[in-house]
Structure 1
Amino acid sequence: MTSLDPTDARLLQALDVDPRASMMALSQRLGLARNTVQARLARLEAGEALAPFTARVRPAALGLPLEAYLTVQVVQRSLSDVGAALADVPEVLEVTALSGAADLLVRVAAVDADDLWRITERVLALPGVERTDTALALRRLVEHRVTPLLERAAGGPDGTLPDGPGDD
């Protein structure tokens, strides 16, 4: 993993604000040469500090308005196999290995309660799965974000980007 200097953090902060910004716009905003911005982005992508760009489609737009979290307990030494099997379930959005009572946290999307039942049954049928618990997601109160971390890493007095050309 690539470590970030304050300029990298400012670059990532600018991308977080405007993910579609061009190299030229980023270079002007940050007061850096376009080639410098391009080289830094390439290094950040290669070092896995920058996740691949993708449109974040909301499952509800695909007819799956119900989201839930399954905590999954698996038999000893089966985490990798269960994780790989969960990747084959289309409604599984994310899988995270945990410490504590549950082994995995699985975020799923479903059409309705009956569909969630079907998905849960499919997860329970996977080899290595011992037990699941389900919690419905009622409302996302904080969306995925890294902005506060980028602001801190950028190192400004208040962590925000300095004014660039055209910022009055």
Structure 2
Amino acid sequence: MGSLDHVDLELLNALADDHRATVVALSERLGLSRNTVQARMAKLDRSGVFLSFERAMAPAELGFPIEAMLSVTVHQAHLPRITTELALIPEVLQAHGLSGQVDLLVRVAARDTQHLFDVDARILAIEGVERTETSLVMGEVIGYRVRPLLEEARRER
């Protein structure tokens, strides 16, 4: 386990309850000074605990109601350049490097099925991409969450 102590875990738990909580609200909830909470938040930020401060947005509300996961197989030697080129495609929401037969799992958003076909074609056109396999996202059954991990970490303390 990392260098998180009881106070860090309580702070993270409070943020999991209300990710928009202000430093003042967190200090009141936890019974800590505002300066302590700010210092802890800065330490957690520097250590890489927080992945992003970007607000998650619904692609469908932006006019992109179709989401798909593309399993992408590539020539390994080209992987760094391929990921750089994938990042230039606006419809690519996320990409993960994988072990096994598939090299990348790429989450994309599209306006309609023709747009999805076009996005897939743009990915296939990247030099070094061997093949893609597309799976439509039918719905999110478990959203991104850390609460169970926080509870497990708290039990271990």
| Separation in 2, partners of 1:95, 1:11 | 29
**TM-score, normalised with respect to structure 1:** 0.88
Q: Percent identity?
A: 49
Residue in 1 aligned with 2:70? 70
Residue in 2 aligned with 1:130? 130
Relative contact order: is structure 1 or structure 2 higher (C-alpha 8 Å, sep ≥ 6)? 1
Quote how far apart the aligned CAs of 1:154 are: 2.9
Residue in 2 aligned with 1:120? 120
Count of residue correspondences: 156
| Separation in 1, partners of 2:72, 2:57 | 25
Secondary structure in 1 aligned to 2:132?
strand
Residue in 2 aligned with 1:165? none
| Separation in 2, partners of 1:43, 1:8 | 9
Question: After the TM superposition, which residues 44-63 of structure 1 pair with which residues of structure 2 at under 5 Å, given as runs?
Answer: 44-63=44-63
Equivalent residue letter for 1:131: R
Equivalent residue letter for 1:78: H
Higher helix share: 2
Residue in 1 aligned with 2:14? 14
The answer for unaligned runs of 5 or more in structure 2 is none
CA contact (8 A) 1:7 1:154 kept: no
CA RMSD of aligned residues (A): 1.5
| Separation in 1, partners of 2:155, 2:35 | 23
The answer for unaligned runs of 5 or more in structure 1 is 158-168
| Separation in 1, partners of 2:6, 2:125 | 48
Question: After the TM superposition, which residues 69-108 of structure 1 pair with which residues of structure 2 at under 5 Å, given as runs?
Answer: 69-108=69-108
Residue in 2 aligned with 1:34? 34
| Separation in 2, partners of 1:134, 1:66 | 12
